[in-house]
Amino acid sequence: MKIVLCCAGGFSTTMLMDSMKNTVKNSAKLDEKDFEFVAIPVDILQSEVETCDVLVIGPQIAHKLDYIKPIIEPYNIPYVIVDQDTYGKMDGATVLKKALVERKKADMKK
């Protein structure tokens, strides 16, 4: 599963991505080989969209949803907008859980 974290291009999203990677690594149920994480600025989302399974949107670009939706909707990519509190705590476990739930919901709609 490829999870793309989309932000304004800052360092903090890479920190959140690392927290998500650590969650997978330390999990008894999840396998690192099943996950790929990429952190990108929103400006290059188009180049990653074809291989994206779930999009994680940082709170600092939540206002760009009108720009993001037309890019991801043709591919039926589910997305999660991370709230400020979760982002501030760099709570990768919560973000990963939300991403997995959204992917599962999307799969059930097929």
Residues noted as catalytic: 7
- CA 32 to CA 22: how far, in whole Å? 9
- CA 54 to CA 50: how far, in whole Å? 11
Torsion angle, alpha carbons of 37, 41, 43, 47, to 10: -20
- Are 56 and 68 in contact by the 8 Å Cβ rule? The answer is no
Helix or strand run (H / E) with residue 2 = strand 2-7
Structure tokens at 26: 């330390």
